[in-house]
Amino acid sequence: MKKMTKGLRVAVLLLVLALVAAACSSDDSTDTTTGGGDGETFTIGVSNNVVGNSWREQMICAIKAEAKVRGNVDEVVLLNRDTDTAGQISDITSLISQGVDAIILNPGDPEAFNAVIEEATDQGIVVVVVDNGVTTDAAYLVSNDQVAYGELGARWLFEELGGEGKVAYMRGIDGVGADTDRDTGFQAALAEYPNIEIVAEVFTGWQPTEGAQQALEILTTQEVDGIWTSGIDYSVVEQFPVAGVDYVPVVGADNNAFIGQLIDLQGEGLTGVAVSNPPSVGGAGAAIALNILEGQDVSKRTLLTPVALSTQEELEAVYVEGLTEGWSSYMEIEPYTSYTADDVIACKGPGE
């Protein structure tokens, strides 16, 4: 596999990531914080409640990278820990008390954060929710379209199986908005394929180790014709030789390691599809927060439309040799982010 040049990577990203920015309604043009005058700088707060997950790590690196290259951020205040909803709300309250200009968060519950978000916006703080949504109109949303993600991968798998077969359904975290949305898309596709049987349904917690253990148990105790995963894909693929069974089609995300497996193991019978779900949505969220602080008009909802990569040509075009395991191949999201892939890999914020 050859290493993709930066120019080619950017070109591919522009080609394959169709980005759709749409306002929810004409009422979405709420008051925005203005600023961005000569010499003015901003402080960005970040709240993340899942540690040890490569997707979240890359999301944070993208936020840092965008803040650094924009040149008008003096500090990124990162509150990054494994915690529950109450703990994350406490972290957001702490960011409010520190007087940050904007808060970027990836919430676990669509309704529990409404009050603290409204507390922040009432004080003039811009709040951008990335990945998982909330129900308050006070926040801006920047998200990959998770319903489309679930449906796109499911349709590919069901068609690959000829419309019938036994499928293992490996989800994310029960009750989290992204998982619920993906299930909505998955079920929409499943309803059109009555001869597809779901023989196992598990929640991986989006943790590679947990997903690997669950996959091994499924492969050694169940007969399966295909596996749909919610992004825990490369660790699932690794379990086929451990279980001593032949590969079946696997649906995964744009994890670079999974894309490498689809390229390398084609001759050994592995087929699959990588559905884009770039963690650089965090970088896009940072860019939008700064646009608002600079006085620009921004839509309240920005959705990134996923694409399905399955051919060797598509997979080889986005693969990045030597990238950290668990990281996505997609880093630069035009027209939002200003950084390069190298900036994300460096994972340095202002002053670091």
pLDDT tens for the chain, residues 1 to 352: 334 443 434 334 433 343 333 333 333 333 333 344 567 999 999 999 989 888 899 999 999 999 999 999 999 999 999 999 999 999 999 999 999 999 999 997 889 999 999 999 999 999 999 988 899 999 999 998 999 999 999 999 999 999 999 999 999 999 888 899 999 999 999 999 999 999 999 999 988 899 999 999 999 999 999 999 998 999 999 999 999 999 999 999 999 999 999 999 999 999 999 999 999 999 999 999 999 999 999 999 999 889 899 999 999 988 988 998 889 988 888 889 999 999 999 999 999 9
Q: CA-CA distance, 58 to 163, in Å (whole number)? A: 36
The DSSP element (H or E) to which 179 belongs, if any, is helix 177-190
pLDDT for 318 equals: 86
Domain range spanning residue 241?
A: 146-275
| 32 plus 113 within the same structural domain | yes
In a domain, 318, yes or no: no
In a domain, 1, yes or no: no
| 157 plus 263 within the same structural domain | yes
| 230 plus 329 within the same structural domain | no
Does this model's pTM top 0.85? My answer is: no
In a domain, 10, yes or no: no
Residue whose structure tokens are 């196992």: 200
Query: What 3-state DSSP class applies to 350?
Result: coil
| 160 plus 262 within the same structural domain | yes
In a domain, 258, yes or no: yes
In a domain, 156, yes or no: yes
| 95 plus 119 within the same structural domain | yes
Q: How far is CA 315 from CA 25, 46, 129, 219, 304, in A?
A: 37, 32, 30, 26, 19
> Within 10 Å of residue 103's Cβ, how many Cβ atoms?
26
pLDDT for 38 equals: 61
What is the DSSP secondary-structure string of 78-130? EEE----HHHHHHHHHHHHHTT-SEEEE--S-TTTTHHHHHHHHHTT-EEEEE
In a domain, 208, yes or no: yes
| 238 plus 151 within the same structural domain | yes
Q: Name residues whose C-beta falls within 8 Å of residue 222's C-beta, 6 or more positions apart in sequence.
A: 166, 168, 199, 200
In a domain, 335, yes or no: yes
| 241 plus 330 within the same structural domain | no
Give the CATH number of the domain where residue 254 resides.
3.40.50.2300
Query: What 3-state DSSP class applies to 234?
Result: helix
| 223 plus 339 within the same structural domain | no
Q: Name residues whose C-beta falls within 8 Å of residue 115's C-beta, 6 or more positions apart in sequence.
A: none
Q: Longest C-alpha distance within the chain, in Å?
A: 64
| 150 plus 259 within the same structural domain | yes
Provide the CA 150 distance to its chain's centre, in angstroms: 13
Beta bridge partners of 27: none
Residue whose structure tokens are 């001869």: 195
| 127 plus 156 within the same structural domain | no
| Closest listed residue to residue 62, CA positions, set 147, 141, 131 | 131
CA 153-214-328 angle, to 5 degrees, is 45
| Closest listed residue to residue 60, CA positions, set 48, 42, 72, 74 | 48
Query: What 3-state DSSP class applies to 143?
Result: strand
How many structural domains is the chain composed of? 2
| Closest listed residue to residue 328, CA positions, set 231, 210, 207 | 231
Q: How far is CA 230 from CA 115, 118, 154, 275, in A?
A: 30, 31, 11, 10
| 152 plus 132 within the same structural domain | no
pLDDT digits (tens, 9 = 90+) for 51-89: 988 889 999 999 999 999 999 999 999 999 999 999 999
Q: CA-CA distance, 246 to 260, in Å (whole number)? A: 18
Q: CA-CA distance, 83 to 173, in Å (whole number)? A: 14
| 121 plus 71 within the same structural domain | yes
| Closest listed residue to residue 78, CA positions, set 54, 61, 55, 66 | 61
In a domain, 4, yes or no: no
